[in-house]
């Protein structure tokens, strides 16, 4: 038992990301739910106060120009871009992930052309993506086919218009092979739409490098943007001219203040905008993204894998075999930044864990989910979480 405590101390001492923890508001709780709602970066409250009191309260309408409100969706998109391997000018921030899934998928189907009549969707997807895909299929007159990610290559054909996949499975933490699946989708002549909710900010994504067509993600998980912070949409540069949004709004118009009756889409990423951006949430997100200054996503990934490895090892040592079973792949190439443990009475177990200061979450029907956010979770936290879990299970 003490050997793991000693190891945790040594790992924390050698941790090159240990310094970023100070940039977050934390307490005694071991917070392993940052894959659901990221912790509060310490710089956010002051910024929000300034946005409300000075920018809104004093400058009022002038702030659209003088405080950079109008251009915030593209500016903050460019701030997220390096974290997901995108060059500037391809990401716009706004709306929810659900809404961006709709924009991306309908636009992908429109780009694919009329003779392709099928949309493939990750059969294990986070539910909202599946609901939206169902509606997108009905609206565009396509058939929706749920397929396990591993079976996508065999399901592709010249009928496939677009494929919507989750990069990391929200339940099990399984990481899907984005480069090879994207290549397979392209070989079939279809478009790949990736949902990065559980990978952006946790591991390198490489959107440009792997030729991803469209991608979406939220910002309130590993990017710590705050509850309901706006999501983002990536449209690869060479597809932007063909991006035909199903939600064209005055903010995506080439001349938003021309107040014209006809719609002429803007050039570039801002074609993905719809209406007036939610400035308060958006500027809280912008402040939150400052914690990434000087942080390499490769270092985040290395620590994330070390944290999940160490957690699995501690759970094995403290809880033993049998009482819990990991649903998270052992192979690093197949693991995101969370550990999902199947456990009898998981809802009850999680309640008791939270009472004892270890916060993860419960996913129906029998999963304990623990998210590891390398910017503010350390190895001593991991050891403590596993020890408390073993005590609760006993
Ligand atoms: C968290 C999550 C969402 C959330 O969608 P919202 O519209 O932002 O509520 C969608 N998809 C996936 C894969 C997620 O993990």
**pLDDT tens-digit map of 189-233:** 999 999 999 999 999 999 999 999 999 999 999 999 999 999 999
Q: 55 and 137: one domain?
A: yes
The atom of ligand 1 lying closest to the CA of 218 is 8
Which tokens hold the place of 284? 């809280």
Would residue 195 show up in a list of annotated catalytic residues for this protein?
Answer: yes
Q: How far apart are CA 232 and CA 235, in angstroms?
A: 10
Task: Tell me, yes or no, whether 282 and 192 share the same domain.
Answer: yes
What tokens does 125 get?
């997807």
- From CA 108, how far away is CA 163, in angstroms rounded? 9
Residue 181 Cα, ligand 1 centroid: separation in angstroms? 21
State the pLDDT at residue 321: 74
Q: Is 369 in the pocket of ligand 1 (CB under 6 A)?
A: no
Locate the ligand 1 atom nearest the alpha carbon of residue 99 and give its number.
Answer: 7
Catalytic status, residue 126: yes
CB atoms within 10 A of CB 241: 12
- Residues found in the chain: 394
* Marked catalytic residue, from 102, 126, 243, 372: 126
Cα 128 to middle of ligand 1, angstroms? 7
Query: Exposure pattern of 23-35 as b/e (b: 16+ CB <10 Å)?
Result: bbebeeebbbbbb
Residue 82 shares a structural domain with residue 162? yes
71 and 133 inside one domain: yes
Distance between CA atoms of residues 131 and 164, nearest Å: 12
Task: Give distance in angstroms: CA of 167 to centre of ligand 1.
Answer: 12
Residues 199 and 234 in one domain: yes
pTM: 0.98
CB-side neighbour CA atoms (13 Å) of 329: 13
Ligand 1 center from residue 79 Cα (angstroms) = 20
Within a domain: residue 23? no
Task: Establish whether residue 292 lines the binding site of ligand 1, counting it when its CB lies within 6 angstroms of any ligand atom.
Answer: no
Helix 379-393 vs helix 297-319: angle between axes, to the nearest 10 degrees? 30
User: Is 120 a residue whose pLDDT tops 60?
Assistant: yes
Asked if 371 and 360 count as a contact pair (C-beta separation under 8 A), the reply is yes
CA-221 nearest atom, ligand 1:
1
Three-class HEC string of 311-357: HHHHHHHHHCCCCEEECCCCCHHHECCEEEEEECCHHHHHHHHHHCC
Q: Is the pLDDT of residue 1 over 70?
A: no
Average pLDDT over residues 367-377: 98
305 shares a domain with 272: no
Of ligand 1's listed atoms, the one at least distance from the Cα of 129 is 11
Q: Taking every pair of C-alpha atoms in the chain, what is the biggest distance, in angstroms?
A: 72
Any residues with CB less than 8 A from the CB of 94 and at least 6 apart, and which?
73, 230, 231, 232, 233, 272, 273, 274, 277, 278, 282
In a domain, 36, yes or no: no
Verify whether residue 369 is a known catalytic residue.
Answer: yes
Per-residue buried b or exposed e for 272-307, using 16+ beta carbons within 10 Å of the residue's own CB: bbbeebbbebbbbbbbbbebbeebebeebbbbbbbb
CB-ligand 1 contact for 198 (6 Å cutoff): yes
Pocket residue to mutate for ligand 1, from 33, 171, 197, most atoms within 8 A of Cβ: 197
- Residue 168 gets which letter from DSSP? B
Concerning whether 221 is annotated as a catalytic residue, the answer is yes
Work out the average pLDDT over 278-297: 98
Q: Which residues pair with 343 in a beta bridge?
A: 324
Write out the residue range of the structural domain in which residue 384 sits.
Answer: 2-17+295-393
CB 130 within 8 A of CB 140: no
pLDDT at 91 over 90: yes
Judge contact between 265 and 271, C-beta under 8 A. yes
Give the span between the Cα atoms of 44 and 41, in whole angstroms: 6
Residue 218 beta carbon below 6 angstroms from any ligand 1 atom: yes
- Tens of pLDDT along 307-358? 999 999 999 999 987 889 999 999 999 999 999 999 999 999 999 999 999 9
Query: Once rounded to an integer, what is the mean pLDDT over residues 139-158?
Result: 98
Residues 93 and 164 in one domain: yes
**Residue 170, ligand 1, Cβ within 6 A:** yes
Nearest alpha carbon, ligand 1 atom 2: 197
Q: How far is the CA of 315 from the centre of ligand 1 (A)?
A: 29
In a domain, 263, yes or no: yes
Tell me, using a 6 A CB cutoff, whether residue 133 lines ligand 1: no
Cα of 197 from ligand 1 centre, angstroms: 6
Number of domains making up the chain: 2
Backbone angles phi, psi at 242, to 5 degrees: -100, 0
Q: What is the CATH number of the domain that holds 255?
A: 3.40.640.10
Average pLDDT of the residues in 134-147: 98
Instruction: Flag whether 314 is in a domain.
Output: yes
Q: Output DSSP code: residue 253.
A: B
Residues 64, 208 within the same domain = yes
Structural domain includes residue 215 = yes
205 shares its domain with 245: yes
Substitution candidate for ligand 1 out of 170, 219, 230, 233 with most atoms within 8 A of CB: 170
236-274 pLDDT, tens digit each: 999 999 999 999 999 999 999 999 999 999 999 999 999
**Candidates 34, 124, 128: which one to mutate for ligand 1, based on the most atoms within 8 Å of Cβ?**
128
Summarize the confidence of residues 76-105 as an average pLDDT. 98
* pLDDT-above-90 percentage for the chain: 98
Strands of 214-217's sheet, edge to edge? 91-93, 232-235, 214-217, 191-195, 160-166, 118-122, 143-147
């Amino acid at each position: 038992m003490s050997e793991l405590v000693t190891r945790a101390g040594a790992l924390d001492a050698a941790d090159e990301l240990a310094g970023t923890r100070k940039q977050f508001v934390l307490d005694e709780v071991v917070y392993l739910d940052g894959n659901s709602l990221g912790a509060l970066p310490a710089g956010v409250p002051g910024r929000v106060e300034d946005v409300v009191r000075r920018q809104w309260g004093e400058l009022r309408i002038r702030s659209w120009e003088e405080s950079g409100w109008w251009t915030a969706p593209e500016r903050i998109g460019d701030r997220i871009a390096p974290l997901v391997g995108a060059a500037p000018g391809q990401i716009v921030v706004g709306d929810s992930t659900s809404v961006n899934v709709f924009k991306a998928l309908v636009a992908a189907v429109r780009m694919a052309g009329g003779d392709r009549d099928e949309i493939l969707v990750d059969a294990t997807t986070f539910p909202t993506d599946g609901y939206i895909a169902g509606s997108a299929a009905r609206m565009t007159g396509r058939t929706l086919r749920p397929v396990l990610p591993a079976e996508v290559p065999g399901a592709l054909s010249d009928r496939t218009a677009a494929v919507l996949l989750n990069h990391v499975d929200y339940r099990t933490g399984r990481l899907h092979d984005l480069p090879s699946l994207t290549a397979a989708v392209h070989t079939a002549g279809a478009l790949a739409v990736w949902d990065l909710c559980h990978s952006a900010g946790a591991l390198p994504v490489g959107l440009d490098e792997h030729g991803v067509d469209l991608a979406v993600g939220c910002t309130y998980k590993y990017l710590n943007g705050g509850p309901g912070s706006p999501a983002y949409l990536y449209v690869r540069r060479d597809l932007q001219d063909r991006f035909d949004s199903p939600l064209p709004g005055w903010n995506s118009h080439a001349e938003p203040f021309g107040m014209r009756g006809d719609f002429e889409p803007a050039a570039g990423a801002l074609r993905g905008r719809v209406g007036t951006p939610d400035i308060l949430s958006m500027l809280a997100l912008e402040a939150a993204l400052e914690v990434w200054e000087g942080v390499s996503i490769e270092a985040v990934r290395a620590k994330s894998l070390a944290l999940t490895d160490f957690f699995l090892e501690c759970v094995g040592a403290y809880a033993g075999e049998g009482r819990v079973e990991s649903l998270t792949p052992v192979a690093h190439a197949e693991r995101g930044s969370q550990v999902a443990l199947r456990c009898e009475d998981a809802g009850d177990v999680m309640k008791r864990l939270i009472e004892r200061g270890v916060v993860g979450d419960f996913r129906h029907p029998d999963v304990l989910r623990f998210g590891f956010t390398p910017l503010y979770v350390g190895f001593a936290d991991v050891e403590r979480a596993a020890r408390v879990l073993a005590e609760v299970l006993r």
